[in-house]
C-alpha cells in the first residue's frame, strides 16, 4: 500500500501547467462599456452579445428585427476584466505565457491596471504574451479592451480602402469587413444578419513551464510500396527569447492488434528568435498494421492514436504531451490533360479536376458549410449543433463539405468529427467576396494567421484541399464592385496576398496538399493566366459556382457543364415552426410583411422564389392559405431544383468528367429565407431529405429529352461493377394508385462511374404527357437504390390529380438500432397518388425519408428518434402536407 502511494507521488506533472482563466469559481470576469453605464458578469470564452443577453440587457438576438435594434452594441467600446490569484511557487516557472486562443477582433491588453501586455487585431490568431516579469504574487487583474469593429474597419478603410464600399443595403449590414481579420459574415451576408461581435471567443489561460512544450505537429504521409512513410514535424515552443533546447522527443503510434510503434530522437538545438524549434521524426508503418481511411460512403474511417512526448533535460519531471489521430489515406487533386479521358472533342479540352483518394477517382458529393452560429463563441461552444449538422451530412451520403471563406477556421472539435465521420473538407482561407488591402500591417497579420492555422489543422485526414479565397478572382474579373478602372492595382494586390504571401506558407508547411488560389478558379489554368483568368468560369477547368434564378430549374437543360460544381443553389423558406422561434405575430406571416422583407437579404429574393414556384406549381395570390403554401412549395421547388442540377452533374461524370457537386448551403444561422437544406435549429428541409436520394451511392437517374425520349443513366459510386441488374420503368397516371404499365430492361455500370443505358428505349410518345409520370427502380443483387421519377409536364398542368384520403398509423413495433436509435414504422395508406407528401411532428427526431412520392396504396416510412415515445402519441402528433392543384 505504502509503495503504491509513493509511486503515485513521483508521477510527473504534465508540462505546461495550465492556469485556466475561463470563467469559473476561481476566475470571475466582468464587462463594461465605454462610458461605464452598462456592466455585468461576463462568460469567458464568450462574446458581448451573449453576455448582454445573459445579463438581460438585450433580448434574443435572432428574434424579430433585433439584429438592427441591438446594433448599438457594435459601435460601443467593450472591456473585460478578470481577477485571479497566483502563488509564489507558480512565479518560479522559467516560462510564463499568457495565451489567448481567440480574440475578436482588435484591441489591447493590460495587467495589474497599467502594465501593457500587447495588442491584437486578428480573430484567427492565437496570441501568446510573455508575462513572467509582469505577473505578481497574489491577486492579479487582467484587462482586455475591444475597439468597435465597425469603427476600426472604417478607420482602416479611410487609410487603405479596398472595394466594395459596403454590402448591399438589404443586408442591413456594416461596411468594410475586408479591413479586419474577422469572420467576414459578421458584418452581414445574403443569408445572415450582421452581428459585429467582440469578445474573448476562444480559451484564455496561463502556461507555466521550465523547458519547452509541444505546440503542434504536422504529419506527412506517403505510401512507399507496402509501407507508409509517416514523417512528423513537431513544433516545440519555449520562452520567446532564444534558448538552447535539449531533451528527448518520442512518438508512439497505436496500430492494429494492440501494437504500438515507437520512435525517439535526441534534441539539442537553439530555438528560432520566437522561441520555437521544429524537430523531425519518421516512422515506417507497414500497411498490414493500419487500415485505409476513406471518405463517407467509400469505406471506414480508422484512426490511430499518435502520442508525442517531449522531455526537456532542464525539466525531466514535467514532460509535455500531445495526442492526435492519424488517418492513413492519400488525396490528390488531379488536373491533367482531359483529352486522355474524354478524347479530342469539346469535352476533352482543358484539364480534369477531380479528387483521387487512395488512388481511386471519387465523385465528391456534398455541400457548403457556413458558421454554425452567427456568434463565433457559440459556434465553438455548442458542440451538439456541430455534431448534429455533421451527422446530418453523413446521413445523406455526403463525402465533402466546403468550409466557406466568409466564416471561421472551425474548432479542433469540428475537424476531429470530420475525421471520424469521413467528411472531407475543402478549406477556404477566410477571404470572401471582396478586394483586400495589402498594407504591411494587414499582410503581417495574415502571415501569422495562415501559419498558425495550417499548423493547427494540417494533420487532419479530413482536410483535402486549401483554397485562398471565396470568389475574389471572379469578382475582380467580373467587375462585381466597379473595380475596372483600378483593375491593375487590384490584380497586383490580389497576387501579393494570395500568391506571394499565402501560397508559399501553405506549400512550405503542407507540401502534400494542393493550394488553389481561389474558389472558384480554373486551377492550373488560372495560374497560367497570371491568376486572374480571362474566364474563371470556363467549364473545361477547375471548379465553378453557378446560380440562375431566371430559368426553369426543374429542367436539366438549364445547367451548364462543369468539371466540379463547388457552389449552386436556390432559396427556400424555413418552416413555419422554425419561423415561430423568431416571431409570433400573425401579421409577420406574409410574404410582403415588414418582417419578411427584413429577413430577405437577397435582392428580389421573394420574386425569384415565386417565379420558381409558379413555373411548375399552382399558387394563386387569393388562396386563403397562400403563405403556408408559399413556404411549403418553396421547399418542394428548391429540393427539385437541386435534385435536378445534382443529378445532371452526376450523369455528366460519363461525358464531361464532372467530378463534384457541393451545393450551397448546408446550414443556416437564422430563421430566414436562404439556400440552406437544414434550418436554423436543425430541422431538415425537403432538400436535405432529397439529398439522401440524389446522393445515393447507386442511383438510376433519368433525363427527359426533346421528342419525349427519356435517357436513363445508372450511376455507381461503388468499387465493384453493377451487372445482372434490371431497371424497372413504371408509368403511372395521376388519378390512381399502382402503375398502368411496367417495363424492364437490363442495366449495367462500371465501378465509380455513370453510364448511359444505351439499350433503354424509354419514351412517352404513346401517352398524353399531362396524365402520366414515370418511376424508375433498380433490381440488382445486394444493391440498394432509391426510386426516381420523371414528371413530364409542370405539376400545375397535370390532369387527373385528386385530393387524397390519407391515413397515417404508427405500429406498436419499435426497433432499437445501433447508437440507441429508436425506429418507429409509420404506415401510410392512400387512395390515390400523392406527390410530395410531407410528414411533420413536434416530437424530436426525423423521418427516414420525406417529401414522398406516394404511388402505392400502402407504404411505410420510418421515424427515427433517441427517446422513447408511445406509438399513439407519435401517431397523434404527425401532421402532413402534400401538393394538389
Q: Whole-angstrom Cα distance, residue 377 to residue 398?
A: 27
Alpha-carbon distances of 249 from 260, 264, 315, rounded to whole Å: 16, 6, 13
Sign of CA dihedral 540, 542, 543, 549: negative
Q: Which of 462, 466, 463 is nearest to 450 (CA)?
A: 466
Q: Whole-angstrom Cα distance, residue 441 to residue 444?
A: 6
- 488 C-beta neighbours (distance < 10 Å), count: 8
Sheet holding 722-733, edge to edge: 741-749, 722-733, 772-779, 788-790
Q: State the cell numbers at 49.
A: 452579445
Task: Give helix 605-616 / helix 626-651 axis angle, nearest 10°.
Answer: 80
Whether residue 471 lies in the annotated active site: yes
Q: Whole-angstrom Cα distance, residue 72 to residue 326?
A: 46
> Which distant-in-sequence residues (6+ apart) come within 8 Å of 853 by Cβ?
775, 787, 789, 833, 834, 835, 836, 837
Bridge partners (DSSP) of residue 742 are 730
Q: Whole-angstrom Cα distance, residue 31 to residue 219?
A: 41
Q: If phi over 0 gives left and psi between -120 and 50 gives alpha, with beta otherwise, what is residue 845?
A: left
Q: Which of 236, 201, 42 is nearest to 127 (CA)?
A: 201
Bridge partners (DSSP) of residue 361 are 356
Which letter, b or e, does each residue of 159-197 get, where b requires 16 or more Cβ atoms within 10 Å of its Cβ? Answer: eeebbbeebeebbbbbbbbbbbbbbbbbbbbbbbbbbbb
Catalytic residue among 567, 647, 679, 771: 567
81 or 777, CB closer to ligand NAG? 81
Q: Whole-angstrom Cα distance, residue 759 to residue 706?
A: 18
Q: How would DSSP label each residue in 712-725?
A: EEEEE-SSS-EEEE
Bridge partners (DSSP) of residue 246 are 268
Q: How would DSSP label each residue in 20-50?
A: E-SSSSS-EEEEE-TTS--EEEE-SS--HHH
Catalytic residue among 101, 471, 645, 771: 471
Torsion of CA 468, 471, 472, 474, to 10 degrees: 130
Q: How would DSSP label each residue in 271-317?
A: PPTTSEEEEEEEEEEETTSS-B---TTTS----EEEEEEEEEGGGTT
Q: Whole-angstrom Cα distance, residue 834 to residue 856?
A: 9
Whether residue 507 lies in the annotated active site: no
Q: State the cell numbers at 733.
A: 397516371
Alpha-carbon distances of 255 from 232, 284, 465, 782, rounded to whole Å: 16, 12, 26, 32
- 537 C-beta neighbours (distance < 10 Å), count: 19
Q: How many helices (H) and strands (E) does the chain have?
A: 20, 43
Alpha-carbon distances of 543 from 470, 476, 564, rounded to whole Å: 12, 17, 5
What is the nearest approach in angstroms of ligand NAG to the Cβ of residue 674?
Answer: 31
What is the nearest approach in angstroms of ligand NAG to the Cβ of residue 82?
Answer: 8
Task: Give helix 686-694 / helix 626-651 axis angle, nearest 10°.
Answer: 20
**Helix/strand/coil for 824:** strand
What is the nearest approach in angstroms of ligand NAG to the Cβ of residue 141?
Answer: 9
What is the nearest approach in angstroms of ligand NAG to the Cβ of residue 34?
Answer: 6
- 269 C-beta neighbours (distance < 10 Å), count: 12
Sheet holding 879-881, edge to edge: 852-854, 834-840, 879-881
Residue numbers at the binding site for ligand NAG (CB under 6 A): 24, 26, 33, 35, 37, 72, 76, 83-85, 130, 132-133, 139, 227, 239, 241, 246, 268, 282, 284, 339, 343-344
Task: Please give the DSSP secondary-structure letter assigned to residue 819.
Answer: G
For the annotated catalytic residues, the residue numbers are 471, 567
Amino acid at each position: 500500500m505504502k509503495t503504491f502511494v509513493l509511486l503515485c507521488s513521483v508521477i510527473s506533472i504534465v508540462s505546461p501547467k495550465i492556469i485556466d482563466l475561463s470563467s469559473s469559481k476561481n476566475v470571475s470576469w466582468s464587462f463594461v462599456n465605454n462610458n461605464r453605464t452598462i456592466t455585468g458578469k461576463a462568460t469567458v470564452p464568450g462574446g458581448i452579445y451573449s453576455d448582454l443577453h445573459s445579463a438581460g440587457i438585450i433580448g434574443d438576438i435572432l428574434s424579430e428585427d433585433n439584429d438592427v435594434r441591438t446594433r448599438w452594441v457594435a459601435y460601443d467600446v467593450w472591456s473585460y476584466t478578470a481577477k485571479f490569484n497566483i502563488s509564489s511557487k507558480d512565479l518560479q516557472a522559467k516560462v510564463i505565457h499568457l495565451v489567448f486562443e481567440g480574440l475578436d477582433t482588435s484591441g489591447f491588453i493590460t495587467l495589474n491596471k497599467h502594465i501593457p501586455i500587447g495588442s491584437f487585431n486578428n480573430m484567427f490568431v492565437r496570441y501568446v504574451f510573455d508575462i513572467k516579469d509582469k505577473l505578481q504574487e497574489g491577486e492579479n487583474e487582467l484587462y482586455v479592451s475591444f475597439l468597435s469593429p465597425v469603427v476600426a474597419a472604417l478607420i482602416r478603410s479611410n487609410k487603405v480602402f479596398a472595394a466594395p464600399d459596403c454590402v448591399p443595403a438589404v443586408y442591413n449590414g456594416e461596411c468594410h469587413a475586408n479591413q479586419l481579420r474577422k469572420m467576414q459574415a459578421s458584418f452581414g451576408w445574403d443569408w445572415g444578419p450582421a452581428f459585429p461581435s467582440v469578445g474573448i471567443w476562444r480559451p484564455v489561460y496561463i502556461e507555466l513551464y521550465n523547458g519547452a512544450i509541444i505546440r503542434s505537429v504536422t504529419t506527412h504521409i506517403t505510401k512507399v510500396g507496402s509501407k507508409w512513410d509517416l514523417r512528423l514535424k513537431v513544433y516545440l515552443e519555449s520562452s520567446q527569447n532564444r534558448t538552447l533546447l535539449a531533451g528527448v522527443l518520442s512518438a508512439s503510434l497505436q496500430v492494429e492488434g494492440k501494437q504500438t510503434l515507437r520512435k525517439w530522437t535526441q534534441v539539442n538545438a537553439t530555438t528560432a528568435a520566437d522561441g520555437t524549434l521544429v524537430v523531425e521524426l519518421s516512422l515506417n508503418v507497414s500497411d498490414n498494421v493500419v487500415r485505409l481511411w476513406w471518405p463517407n460512403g467509400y469505406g471506414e474511417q480508422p484512426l490511430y492514436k499518435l502520442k508525442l512526448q517531449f522531455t526537456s533535460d532542464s525539466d525531466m519531471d514535467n514532460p509535455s504531451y500531445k495526442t492526435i489521430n492519424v488517418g492513413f489515406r492519400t488525396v490528390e487533386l488531379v488536373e491533367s490533360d482531359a483529352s486522355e479521358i474524354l478524347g479530342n472533342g469539346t469535352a476533352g479540352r482543358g484539364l480534369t479536376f477531380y479528387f483521387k483518394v487512395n488512388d481511386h477517382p471519387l465523385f465528391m458529393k456534398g455541400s457548403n458549410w457556413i458558421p454554425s452560429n452567427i456568434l463565433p463563441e457559440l459556434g465553438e461552444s455548442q458542440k451538439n449543433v456541430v455534431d448534429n449538422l455533421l451527422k446530418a451530412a453523413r446521413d445523406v451520403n455526403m463525402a465533402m463539405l466546403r468550409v466557406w471563406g466568409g466564416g471561421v477556421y472551425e474548432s479542433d472539435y469540428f475537424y476531429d468529427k470530420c475525421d471520424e465521420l469521413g467528411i472531407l473538407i475543402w478549406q477556404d482561407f477566410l477571404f470572401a467576396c471582396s478586394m483586400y488591402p495589402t498594407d504591411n500591417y494587414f499582410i503581417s497579420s495574415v502571415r501569422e494567421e495562415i501559419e498558425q492555422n495550417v499548423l493547427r489543422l494540417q494533420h487532419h485526414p479530413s482536410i483535402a484541399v486549401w483554397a485562398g479565397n471565396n470568389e475574389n478572382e471572379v469578382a475582380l474579373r467580373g467587375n462585381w464592385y466597379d473595380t475596372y478602372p483600378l483593375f491593375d492595382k487590384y490584380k497586383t494586390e490580389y497576387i501579393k496576398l494570395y500568391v506571394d504571401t499565402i501560397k508559399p506558407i501553405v506549400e512550405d508547411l503542407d507540401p502534400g496538399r494542393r493550394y488553389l488560389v481561389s474558389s472558384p478558379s480554373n486551377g492550373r489554368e488560372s495560374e497560367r493566366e497570371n491568376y486572374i483568368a480571362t474566364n474563371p468560369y470556363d467549364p473545361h477547368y477547375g471548379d465553378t459556382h453557378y446560380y440562375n434564378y431566371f430559368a426553369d430549374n426543374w429542367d436539366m437543360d438549364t445547367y451548364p457543364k462543369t468539371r466540379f460544381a463547388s457552389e449552386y443553389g436556390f432559396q427556400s423558406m424555413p418552416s413555419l415552426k422554425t419561423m415561430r422561434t423568431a416571431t409570433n405575430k400573425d401579421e409577420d406571416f406574409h410574404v410582403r410583411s415588414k418582417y419578411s422583407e427584413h429577413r430577405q437579404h437577397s435582392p428580389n429574393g421573394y420574386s425569384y422564389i415565386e417565379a420558381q414556384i409558379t413555373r411548375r406549381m399552382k399558387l394563386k395570390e387569393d388562396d386563403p392559405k397562400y403563405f403556408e403554401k408559399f413556404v411549403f412549395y418553396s421547399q418542394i421547388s428548391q429540393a427539385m431544383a437541386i435534385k435536378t442540377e445534382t443529378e445532371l452533374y452526376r450523369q455528366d461524370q460519363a461525358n464531361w468528367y464532372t467530378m463534384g457537386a457541393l451545393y450551397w448551403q448546408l446550414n443556416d444561422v437564422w430563421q430566414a429565407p436562404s439556400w440552406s437544406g437544414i434550418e436554423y435549429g436543425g430541422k431538415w428541409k425537403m432538400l436535405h431529405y432529397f439529398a439522401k436520394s440524389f446522393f445515393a451511392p447507386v442511383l438510376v437517374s433519368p433525363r427527359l429529352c426533346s421528342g419525349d425520349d427519356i435517357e436513363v443513366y445508372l450511376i455507381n459510386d461503388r468499387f465493384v461493377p453493377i451487372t445482372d441488374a434490371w431497371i424497372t420503368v413504371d408509368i403511372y397516371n395521376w388519378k390512381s394508385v399502382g402503375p398502368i404499365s411496367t417495363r424492364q430492361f437490363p442495366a449495367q455500370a462500371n465501378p465509380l462511374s455513370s453510364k448511359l443505358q444505351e439499350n433503354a428505349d424509354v419514351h412517352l410518345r404513346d401517352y398524353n404527357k399531362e396524365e402520366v409520370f414515370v418511376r424508375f427502380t433498380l433490381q440488382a443483387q445486394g444493391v440498394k437504390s432509391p426510386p426516381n421519377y420523371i414528371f413530364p409536364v409542370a405539376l400545375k398542368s397535370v390532369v387527373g390529380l385528386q385530393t387524397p384520403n390519407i391515413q397515417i398509423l404508427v405500429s406498436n413495433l419499435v426497433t432499437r438500432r445501433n447508437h440507441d436509435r429508436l425506429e418507429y414504422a409509420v404506415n401510410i395508406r392512400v387512395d390515390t397518388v400523392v406527390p410530395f407528401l410531407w410528414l411533420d411532428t413536434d416530437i424530436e427526431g426525423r423521418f427516414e425519408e420525406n417529401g414522398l412520392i406516394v404511388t402505392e396504396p400502402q407504404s411505410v416510412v420510418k421515424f427515427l428518434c433517441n427517446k422513447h415515445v408511445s406509438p399513439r402519441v407519435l401517431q397523434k402528433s404527425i401532421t402532413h402536407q402534400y401538393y394538389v392543384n
